[in-house]
């Protein structure tokens, strides 16, 4: 009889250093799972998986579910329980990973390598909190409220813009360039590997404070009358989204919800423009249009003479701008050439047939 191997002890969230933007984005998504999850871009070894596992431990009784790269759509959303159907001649729903992740964290490594159908179902459930299954002769819906954390390495490909836009927040991690900071992170990891329980005990108080703060912030976000905001907040959100050249209004809505989650996390009485500014980059990073495209001015119309003809000087300048280094046309003389004689003399009569 074989026994299951014990699950590894997670690294404490409170001890994660060197990634402040990652910590903030994950905490905001935990305060308000309706944001649509967090997409983490970055190279290997930047604490992406460690942070996601540590976040689940801060949520009371939260499961941590990993979506395998080769998972099928049925294993994700659920499907018909064939065993029950064959044995009892009844249709019964078999829950998938979305049901298992309810109330916890659903982690997807290398999400950019998943089929689009799986990503669509993931993002639909993450944004709505409900999984709806209409297939295999069954119609079923169940709660699926979880914190979606997806990671990807941009060197291995990216997601389509339509899918990127549906992620609430995005964080782009970099390699740590400060020598002292790198050494502190390595020392902390070695200390954890040598004595996981002892290391966790040193951060137990801070972990408990983070968990309690999450409970308070979630309750505050759930109160529709709490955390008011005025016109200045709306103006700041609109200005930032227009400047980034985003498509649609999803960025505006996510930015307002993120600012509200940050205000709840800090226990503020109202949402301010400072909250908006501090969440703006995570909201706009994956939605911002390329700077060259956003900043490119429209071509000025060519000047025309009163009679409608174009200005020759403007045309020359325009041509010079479009084709730098082009040589001006030169006149070429025409030479008279000797006419060619046809191979067959058409004036001669064709020979008669015998």
Residue 47: pLDDT band by 50, 70, 90 thresholds? confident
Span 220-246, pLDDT tens digits: 999 999 999 999 999 999 999 999 999
Which of the pair, 225 or 325, is modelled with greater confidence? 225
Rounded to whole angstroms, how far apart are CA atoms 72 and 115?
9
Q: Say what the pLDDT of residue 326 is.
A: 44
Average pLDDT rounded to a whole number, residues 283-309: 58
Q: Which long-range contacts (CB under 8 A, 24 or more apart) does 290-295 make?
A: 293/245, 294/244, 294/245
Question: Which candidate in 53, 250, 257, 288 is catalytic?
Answer: 250
Please check the confidence at residue 83 and state whether its pLDDT lies above 50: yes
Q: Between residues 340 and 225, which one has the greater pLDDT?
A: 225
Over residues 162-217, the pLDDT tens digits come to: 889 999 999 999 888 899 999 999 999 999 999 999 999 999 999 999 999 999 99
Burial 105-120 (b: 16+ CB within 10 A, else e): bbbbbebbebeeebbe
Q: What percent of the chain has pLDDT over 70?
A: 76
pLDDT of residue 98: 95
User: Which pLDDT band holds residue 323 (cuts at 50, 70, 90)?
Assistant: very low
Beta bridge partners of 41: 152, 172
> Where is pLDDT greater, at 51 or 346?
51
pLDDT at 32: 96
Is 135 catalytic? The answer is no
The token pair at 224 is: 């529709």
Please tell me the pTM assigned to this model.
0.78
What is the overall mean pLDDT for the chain? 83
pLDDT at position 336: 57
Query: 228-233, long-range: CB within 8 Å, 24+ apart, which pairs?
Result: 228/270, 228/271, 229/256, 229/259, 229/260, 229/270, 229/271, 229/272, 232/273, 233/259, 233/271, 233/272, 233/273, 233/275, 233/276
pLDDT score of 322:
40
Residue 312 pLDDT greater than 80, yes or no: no
Give the model's confidence band at 140: pLDDT under 50 very low, under 70 low, under 90 confident, else very high. confident
First to last CA, the chain: 107
* Residue 144 pLDDT greater than 70, yes or no: yes
pLDDT at 270 over 50: yes
What does the pLDDT read at residue 146? Answer: 95
Asked which of 130-144, 217-231, 326-340 is least confident by mean pLDDT, the reply is 326-340
Question: What pLDDT shows up at residue 313?
Answer: 38
DSSP three-state, residue 190: helix
User: What span, in angstroms and rounded, lies between the C-alpha atoms of 292 and 180?
Assistant: 37
138 touches 93 (CB < 8 A): yes
79, 135 in Cβ contact below 8 A?
yes
Cβ contacts of residue 259 below 8 Å, gap of 6+? Answer: 229, 233, 237, 271, 275, 276, 278, 279
pLDDT more than 90, % of the chain? 57
pLDDT (0 to 100) of residue 160: 86
Q: What six digits make up the tokens of 285?
A: 């990073």
- Tell me the C-alpha to C-alpha distance, in Å, between residue 24 and each of 148, 151, 263: 15, 16, 12
List alpha helices for 137-285, DSSP H: 161-164, 179-194, 196-202, 204-221, 231-244, 250-266, 273-284
Structure tokens at 244: 């980034």
The residue among 198, 199, 201 whose CA lies nearest residue 188 is: 199
For position 352, what pLDDT does the model report? 53
């Amino acid at each position: 009889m074989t026994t299951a191997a014990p699950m590894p002890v997670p690294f404490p969230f409170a001890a994660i250093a060197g990634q402040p933007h990652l910590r903030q984005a994950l905490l905001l998504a935990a305060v308000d799972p309706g944001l649509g999850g967090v997409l983490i871009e970055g190279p290997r070894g930047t604490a992406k998986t460690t942070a996601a596992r540590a976040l689940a431990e801060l949520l009371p009784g939260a499961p941590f579910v990993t979506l395998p790269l080769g998972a099928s759509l049925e294993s994700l959303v659920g499907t018909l329980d064939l065993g029950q159907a064959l044995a009892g001649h009844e249709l019964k729903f078999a829950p998938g990973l979305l049901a298992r992740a309810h109330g916890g964290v659903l982690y997807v490594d290398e999400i950019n390598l998943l089929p689009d159908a799986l990503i669509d179902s993931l993002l639909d459930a993450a944004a709505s909190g409900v999984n709806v299954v209409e297939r295999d002769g069954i119609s079923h819906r169940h709660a699926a409220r979880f914190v979606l954390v997806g990671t990807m390495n941009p060197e291995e490909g990216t997601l389509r813009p339509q899918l990127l836009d549906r992620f609430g927040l995005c964080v782009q991690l970099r390699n740590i360039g400060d020598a002292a900071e790198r050494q502190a992170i390595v020392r902390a990891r070695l200390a954890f590997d040598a004595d996981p329980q002892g290391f966790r005990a040193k951060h137990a108080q801070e972990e408990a404070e983070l968990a309690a703060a999450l409970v308070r912030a979630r309750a505050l976000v759930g109160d529709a009358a709490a955390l008011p905001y005025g016109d200045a907040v709306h103006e700041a959100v609109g200005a930032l989204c227009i400047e980034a050249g985003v498509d649609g209004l999803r960025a505006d809505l996510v930015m307002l919800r993120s600012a509200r989650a940050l205000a709840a996390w800090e226990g503020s009485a109202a949402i301010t423009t400072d909250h908006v500014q501090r969440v703006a980059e995570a909201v706009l990073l994956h939605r911002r249009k390329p700077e060259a495209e956003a900043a490119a001015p429209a071509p000025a119309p060519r000047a025309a003479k009163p009679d409608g003809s174009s200005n020759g000087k403007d045309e020359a300048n325009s041509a010079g701008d479009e084709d730098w280094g082009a040589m001006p046309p030169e006149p070429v003389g025409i030479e008279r050439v000797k006419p060619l004689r046809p191979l067959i003399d058409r004036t001669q009569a064709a020979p008669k047939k015998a």
